[in-house]
Amino acid sequence: MNKMETMTGAKALMTAMEKEGVKQVFGLPGGANLPMYDEFARCDIRHILTRHEQSAAHMADGFGRVSRKPGVCFATSGPGATNILTGIATAQADSAPMIAVTGQVPVAMIGKDAFQESDIIGMANPVVKYAFQPRSAGEIPEIVKKGFFIAGSGRPGPVLIDIPKDVQTNEEPMNFPDEFKIQGYHPWADPDIVNVEKAIDMLLHAEKPIILAGGGTIISSAFAELQSVAEILMLPVVTTFKGKGAFPENHPLSLGPIGMHGHAEANKMMSEADCVLAIGTRFSDRSVGTFEAFEKRLKIIHMDVDPAEIGKNQTAQIPVIGDVRVNLRVMVKLLLQRVIKKSEETPWIKHVKETKSYWKENLKLHPGEMGAAKILRKLRELLPKEAVVTTEVGQHQMWASLFYDVIQPGTFFSSTGLGTMGWGFPAAIGAKVARPDVPVVDIAGDGSFAMTENSLATAVLEDIPVIVFVLNNSTLGMVAQWQRTFYDRRMIGVDQKRCPDYVKLAESYGAQGIRAQSMDELDKAIKTAISSDVATVIDIPIDPEEDVLPFVAPGTSLADMILPS
Amino acid sequence: MWAILSILVENKPGILFKVTHLFRSRNFNIDSISVGITENPDYSKMTITTYGDEKQIDQIVKQLDKMIDTVKVEHLDEHKTVFRELCLFKIKLSNANDSMEINKLANAYGGKVHDVKKDSIMVELTATPDQIKVFEELAKPFGILDIVRTGVAALQRSGA
């Protein structure tokens, strides 16, 4: 039993977080969280000041995805809390571990419409993995312990801890428990040997089997296991967009992401396959197109840590519930025991390889010097393979999916579920805090970057030198593409009119701004940015008319791609 | 199909909100809901009846099970379950014989009569939703002034 020490709720919070190994908090102070902020003066946790609470949440999210430990963000009550809501929802949609701590008005004021009061517990409920609101200071140590466990285990997600101001300031004897019980939470299942065995048989009997690796593969770091299964069974590997880079994209069996803007060869092969080993994916509409077409054609083996994903969007013939890494390990072991090694020359594999090389050579790209493919391939060429990349949301994101090959698994992150513009830059800052030893690049568009560009202040003042790589078409490009494609070129509300000037904007924050208008300039800019010890914005003007192709229109199947004409 | 779900939850504030919110946000429907504390004051039990095809019911159960505050979620087989709902009817009395007729009807369905007034009578009925519906049809000609229902409470039979 620990010795009970009397302290305030705020001090207990910080002490409990230190015990969880928290080294930094991203946040913004306000009236209702000042007692917690005051504790930064007396503890070893670093505070990283953001200019908006939403960015604080995205930074914690980026930190969490890269380090696979919950990132922590702080916000005050009322608008501070509602501002982090988008960040929390983003983390939930992408299963990212996060702890969000909000201040709340004192207990006696709750429900009185007090100044800066918001019912953040009620608002956040559908977008958190769990939410706590301690009503006495003594509850805080156990809540923090449980919160970190819930956020980081099983299918990770955001946990909200909303602390009334008087609960922060009240002094109580504190017990910091080593153990706790959460009765209704069972994040892990035992390895499912029976169903893994069945899955192997199904894959061996299939004529055209394929692996679909989702984001869960990355969350559980099942990279080596995935590669072993693919190589032993000679299975081509496609990924979802969230699973991009679960499998090295320069591997001969890699076909890249499927989906609305998937690689042509990936969508083609996914459309022809007869059996899929789906790993850690929820079969989102953006990945598989129409659900019915997908399900009718395919035998599905579905591995997922979340039992509720089995049968939610697709009916699986063989469900394998549990941590995908654990079950893939079982699969590798069973395959090795059975001494299975498939030939490289099955008609299916030959067809896959031919299709892949056909599309590598024949996908029409933008003819100009500064086409998206050329720009992103240049970035790939110059970045070390361990560099971490985040993206914003829009055309640049999908071009990154198409043309930026992830070589080292788990180095590519994006807001894929909620699709939050403005996520990439603050997430890159969080990622850089987790991995200060590697270059971190936010592949951005001008529209998305505008949403959280004030995080430049954080990057500069907190000395977190990330690179913002802006493909600047001065347009809300993806919306513009839909208006060109589906709305008869009626361009409404998309023109950014070259405002602001991102080079000047970067400089005004004390960051480095470089404009790259040719491949030579781009080459130099990237090299300068990588070796720079200050945050750098590379502004790359591109053709506002360039579309992202291939394109699977919403509500259609992957086989019906719109291709460059 | 109509499904009866029995959900054991931790007896903490805000959980009813979370369960009903889950139904709303996942586009499920609540047909009826009843909640009460169990023999152990740390837990409450909810009975929720809902509609959906097999796949939807399966998904509702899984999503409820995933909730951290739910301890046990069961889809009860209605043939192996006792399920009842309490319903109060306020019925109009227009003719001299109405009171007697309604008394007879109530007796036939195991109901009780309360609050007999000059121009209205109240009937308390504990029955299955189907039986309540039949009673309602039979009472309609008299004129139903008001109805209130508790929602279904269900308990699986022993050994079932």
A56 pLDDT higher than 80:
yes
Helices A223-233 and A324-337 pack at an angle, to 10 degrees, of 30
Same domain, B48 and B111: no
Question: Are B24 and B67 members of one domain?
Answer: yes
Find the mean pLDDT for residues A252-278: 95
Q: Where are the beta strands (DSSP E) in A40-139?
A: 46-49, 71-75, 98-104, 130-132
B72 shares its domain with B86: no
Looking at residues A231-246, what average pLDDT do you find?
A: 97
Q: Do A184 and B70 touch (CB under 8 A)?
A: yes
* CA dihedral over A524, A529, A530, A532, signed as positive or negative: positive
Does residue A328 surpass a pLDDT of 70? Answer: yes
**Residue A260 near residue A551 (C-beta atoms within 8 A):** yes
Q: Given pLDDT bands bounded at 50, 70 and 90, which one contains residue A1?
A: very low
| Residue A531: CB atoms within 10 Å | 9
Among residues B41, B76, B111, the one where a domain terminates is: B76
At A547-559, the pLDDT tens digits run 999 999 888 888 8
Q: According to the model, what pLDDT value does residue A343 have?
A: 73
CATH number of A193-361: 3.40.50.1220
The answer to whether the A5-174 and A365-549 domains have the same CATH topology is yes
Give the residue among A552, A556, A554 at the shortest CA–CA distance from A264.
A552
Q: Where are the domains of chain A?
A: 5-174, 193-361, 365-549
Average pLDDT, stretch A427-445? 98
Domain range for B103? 82-156
Q: What is the average per-residue pLDDT within A255-266?
A: 95
pLDDT at residue A3, rounded to an integer = 66
**The domain that contains B57 carries what CATH number?**
3.30.70.260
A265 in catalytic set:
no
pLDDT band per the 50, 70, 90 thresholds, residue A2: low
Domain A5-174 class in CATH: alpha beta
Please provide the average confidence, as pLDDT, over all residues in chain B: 96
Q: Which two tokens stand for residue A545?
A: 């008319």
Let me know whether B98 and B132 are in one domain: yes
Q: Of all residues in chain A, what percent carry a pLDDT higher than 90?
A: 92
pLDDT, one tens digit per residue, over A18-30 is: 999 999 999 999 9
B130 and B151 co-located in one domain? yes
Residue A342 pLDDT more than 80?
Answer: no
Is A116 tagged catalytic? yes
Residue A509: pLDDT over 70: yes
| A478 carries an active-site annotation | yes
Q: B76, B107, B137 — which closes off a domain?
A: B76
Range in A153-157, B52-56, B81-85 with the lowest mean pLDDT: B52-56
Q: What is the residue type of B39?
A: E
| Catalytic position from the list A53, A249, A265, A309 | A53
Q: Which residues in chain B have their CB less than 8 angstroms from residue A315's CB? A: 55
Average pLDDT of A52-74?
Answer: 98
Do residues B43 and B108 both lie within one domain? no
Of A183, A308, A315, the CB nearest to B62: A308
Mutate to test the interface with B, among A185, A186, A304, A314 (most CBs of B within 10 A): A185
Sign of the Cα torsion B91, B94, B100, B104 reads negative
Claim to verify: residue B99 and residue B114 sit in the same structural domain: yes
Q: Helices A264-272 and A347-362 sit at what angle, rounded to 10 degrees?
A: 150
Give residue A292's pLDDT: 72
Q: What is the mean pLDDT of residues A115-140?
A: 97
Q: Which two tokens stand for residue A325?
A: 């890494």
Total domains in chain B come to 2
Give yes or no for residue A92 having a pLDDT over 80: yes
Clarify whether residues B99 and B40 are in a common domain.
Answer: no
pLDDT of residue B160: 65
Going by C-alpha positions, the residue among A525, A451, A197 that lies closest to residue A338 is: A197
Q: Of the residues A478, A481, A546, A551, which is catalytic?
A: A478
Domain end point (choices B76, B111, B129):
B76
Is the ipTM value over 0.90, yes or no?
A: yes
d(CA B26, CA B30): 11
Of A112, A115, A345, A519, which one is the catalytic site residue?
Answer: A115
Q: Which CATH class is domain A365-549?
A: alpha beta
Query: Is the pLDDT score of B24 beyond 50?
Result: yes
Task: Give all strands (DSSP E) within chain B, no chain letters.
Answer: 2-10, 32-37, 43-51, 70-76, 81-92, 112-114, 120-127, 144-156
Distance CA A389, CA B129 (A): 58
Number of CB atoms found within 10 A of residue A557's CB: 19
**pLDDT (mean) for A189-206:** 96
Q: What is the mean pLDDT of chain A?
A: 96
